Amino acid sequence: MPASTSAPPPGSVSGGAPTAGTAAATITIKDFAYGDPLTVAPGAAVTVTNMDSAAHTVTADEGAAFDAEVKGGGTATFTAPTKPGRYPYHCTFHPNMHGTMIVK
């Protein structure tokens, strides 16, 4: 009889690492703050869940690696960069909000 394995839930919690090359990951925004640094695979689908009532963005600090706007209470999806590295990001609406995505 083959061994049974349980599949991970779709996506991962803030700061979680995906389990496959293009596994999904989630950035959760709550109380005008991003979660822990997020580690994703190159080219992974990244879902942004905004638990605040205000709109926010997830905008790369340098270049145009990613820029997603998410309405209050909504979600948005973008593709992580394909080049490994650290990608600091911020909210263009709220300059005090900062986070980091690690692609590896």
pLDDT at residue 21 tops 70: no
Q: What pLDDT sits at residue 101?
A: 97
What are the helix (H) ranges across the chain? none
Q: What is the DSSP letter of 95?
A: T
Q: What pLDDT sits at residue 23?
A: 53
Does residue 41 lie within any of the structural domains? yes
pLDDT at residue 11 tops 50: no
Tell me how far apart the alpha carbons of residues 50 and 64 are, in angstroms, rounded to a whole number: 21
Can you read off the two tokens belonging to residue 23?
């596994």
Domain ranges, residue 98: 25-103
Q: What pLDDT sits at residue 3?
A: 43
Per residue in 24-64, pLDDT (tens digit) is: 699 999 999 999 999 999 999 999 999 999 999 999 999 99
Does residue 11 lie within any of the structural domains? no
CATH for 97: 2.60.40.420
Does residue 18 lie within any of the structural domains? no
Distance of CA 79 to the CA centre of its chain: 9
Count how many domains the chain has: 1
